[in-house]
Amino acid sequence: MGDVLVVRPLTDVRFLVLLGGPRCRYFDTTKQGRIINKFSSDLSQVDGNLMTNGIDFLNSIFSAMLSTIVVLLVCPVVAIIMVPVVIGFYFVQRTYVAAVGFACTACLPACVLAAGQSSK
């Protein structure tokens, strides 16, 4: 049930981008049944992998947290090193994400921007 709640917004966004984008020759020459079949097969692959990937992600997060707690319990001196490293990582990551976001918006093709603006 949870994956249905996640897939629904993805489906809505794909339909909006598909319908709001520039008219393509592919849609003029391909039968509607084939387009819908392709779309549904893509979504079935997302549905099949979504729950497994989510469980793997949570397993990795909890394993990392548990490992950190065990290391801190066994050797508390590590906290002296770990705290500045985590703070430094946070600031580097924040700067990196901002730089990548700027680079992505600067490099987007005009047709993608036009498709996003026409659906508003």
What region does 116 belong to: left with phi over 0, alpha with psi -120 to 50, or beta? alpha
pTM for this entry: 0.47
pLDDT in tens, 35-77: 677 777 777 777 778 888 889 999 999 999 999 999 999 999 9
d(CA 64, CA 115): 41
What mean pLDDT, rounded, does the chain reach? 75
User: Domain segments of the chain: what residues?
Assistant: 2-118
Residue with the larger pLDDT of the pair 104 and 79 = 79
Predicted pLDDT at 18? 64
Buried b (16+ CB within 10 A) or exposed e, 10-27: eeeeeeeeeeebeeeeee
pLDDT in tens, 99-110: 877 666 655 554
Can you list the alpha helix ranges (DSSP code H) found in 24-77?
25-29, 32-74
